[in-house]
Amino acid sequence: MKFKLLIALLGFGILLAGCKEQHGNEGAGNVETSNAVSNEPIQPIQPAIVKNPKYVELGKKLYFDTRLSKSGFISCNSCHNLSMGGTDNLKTSIGHNWSKGPINSPTVLNSSLNLAQFWDGRAADLKEQAGGPIANPGEMAFTHELAVDMLKSIPGYVTEFNDAFGGREITINEVTLAIAAFEETLVTPNARFDQWLKGNKNALNKTELAGYQLFKSSGCISCHNGMNIGGNSYQKMGLVAPYKATSPAQGRSAVTGNDADRFNFKVPTLRNIELTYPYFHDGEAATLTKAVDTMGRLQLGRKFTTEENAQIVAFLKTLTGEQPSFKLPQLPPSSDATRRPQPFSD
């Protein structure tokens, strides 16, 4: 008995020493956990570090401002609703004039952690991405010039842009810088799974843990890994058996022009996946059960039993992190000179 205790204490001491070397003085509370974290193919996400609070506050307003659309009705939040996991929960989005979008709207949550933006990765980063929807005829249907004119006609915005950008002229560059800065704050740390990774072994129950083991042992982890549990590579949808999509999207080949990249998509993040239904680029999987079944069959050639499927789904539901929380921004009012919305004209 005493001997065992001694060994345990000794072991603890060695661990402690090892950890001190790696992590400096993080405190003994992290000791057992640091090793666990480094051994897993998924890492916890860190809270956002705000580099420029003025950009963030301005970007937050722009994110909610429907006046960046021709109709005056659509904002970024229309399709990436921050009350709904940063998505619209629709198969494909509804754009200007109720037009049917070609593809499912991915979440903006944790999108700063992705290797590129869009399903096919055609935008390098959030700043480049943010200019797209404003001028996309099927989304906000505006132009960058009209958007900038609109902002310049609103005294409240002029003051705030001046303050944030030191009097620099407002162009689409400043608009997208601010939106991207806000989006960088939309990370969701402290999911139950992250708590488990950090050493709180009670954070997951047996079923959820079995789901994680299966997620690793069956091979899901080969594509969905890293901090965002995805978002870091392009992979073929329908690796083992073909996927019959209802969307015309061709995937990565549309960007590279290389036929071998056809149907390669950016692997989506699985963080907050319980909130971001429906699933896949065409939104055809309404439930997680269905998505997991499809992934098993088409990506791994494996048909999960009902119990296995339920275990993986239980694990996936532990990936919901703390959702963005802030005071709703109050948008500066239009002036007499501000262009009026055109919700019903083409």
Q: Which residues are catalytic?
A: 139
- Tokens at residue 39, please? 């051994």
Q: Is 276 in the site for ligand HEC (CB under 6 A)?
A: yes
Q: Identify the residue whose tokens are 């692997």.
A: 267
- Give the nearest distance from C-beta 47 to ligand HEC in angstroms: 19
- Give the nearest distance from C-beta 128 to ligand HEC in angstroms: 10
Which of 222, 256, 289, 323 is in the footprint of ligand HEC by CB under 6 A?
A: 222
For 133-181, the DSSP string reads: HHH-TTTT---HHHHHHHHHT-HHHHHHHHHHHTTPPP-HHHHHHHHHH
Nearer to ligand HEC, 195 or 299 (CB): 299
Q: Is 78 in the site for ligand HEC (CB under 6 A)?
A: yes
Nearer to ligand HEC, 139 or 261 (CB): 139
Nearer to ligand HEC, 140 or 227 (CB): 140
Q: Is 36 helix (H, G, I), strand (E, B) or coil?
A: helix
Q: Is 60 in the site for ligand HEC (CB under 6 A)?
A: no
Nearer to ligand HEC, 44 or 95 (CB): 95
Q: Return d(Cα 287, Cα 278) in angstroms, integer.
A: 6
- Give the nearest distance from C-beta 17 to ligand HEC in angstroms: 38
Nearer to ligand HEC, 239 or 310 (CB): 239
The answer to whether the beta carbons of residues 59 and 182 sit under 8 Å apart is yes
H helices within 40-125, ranges in order? Answer: 53-64, 76-79
Which of 179, 181, 187, 204 is in the footprint of ligand HEC by CB under 6 A?
A: 179
Give the length of the chain: 346
- Give the nearest distance from C-beta 91 to ligand HEC in angstroms: 10
Q: Is 148 in the site for ligand HEC (CB under 6 A)?
A: no
3-state secondary structure string across 180-239: HHHHHCCCCCCCHHHHHHCCCCCCCCHHHHHHHHHHHHCCHHHCCCCCCCCCCCEEECCC
Q: Identify the residue whose tokens are 């959702």.
A: 323
- Give the nearest distance from C-beta 283 to ligand HEC in angstroms: 8
Nearer to ligand HEC, 225 or 334 (CB): 225
Strands 264-266 and 94-95, sheet pairing: unpaired
Nearer to ligand HEC, 33 or 161 (CB): 161
Which of 44, 72, 85, 133 is in the footprint of ligand HEC by CB under 6 A?
A: 133
Q: What single-letter amino acid sits at 315?
A: F
* Options 18-26, 150-158, 197-205, 213-221: segment touching ligand HEC (CB under 6 A): 213-221
Q: Is 218 in the site for ligand HEC (CB under 6 A)?
A: yes
Which of 76, 82, 148, 191 is in the footprint of ligand HEC by CB under 6 A?
A: 76
Angle subtended at Cα 188 by Cα 327 and Cα 212, rounded to the nearest 5 degrees: 155
Q: Is 267 in the site for ligand HEC (CB under 6 A)?
A: yes
Other residues' Cβ atoms within 10 Å of the Cβ of residue 203: 17
Summary count for the chain: helices (H), strands (E): 13, 4
Q: Which of residues 82-101 bind ligand HEC (CB under 6 A)?
A: 93, 95, 101
Q: Is 288 helix (H, G, I), strand (E, B) or coil?
A: helix
- Give the nearest distance from C-beta 130 to ligand HEC in angstroms: 4
In order of 112, 172, 287, 322, the CA distances from 185 in angstroms are 9, 20, 28, 12
Which positions lie near ligand HEC, rule CB under 6 A? 74, 76, 78-80, 93, 95, 101, 103, 105-106, 108, 111, 114, 117-119, 126, 129-130, 133-134, 139-140, 179, 218-220, 222-224, 235, 237, 239, 265, 267-268, 270, 273, 276, 279-281, 291-292, 295-296, 299-300, 312
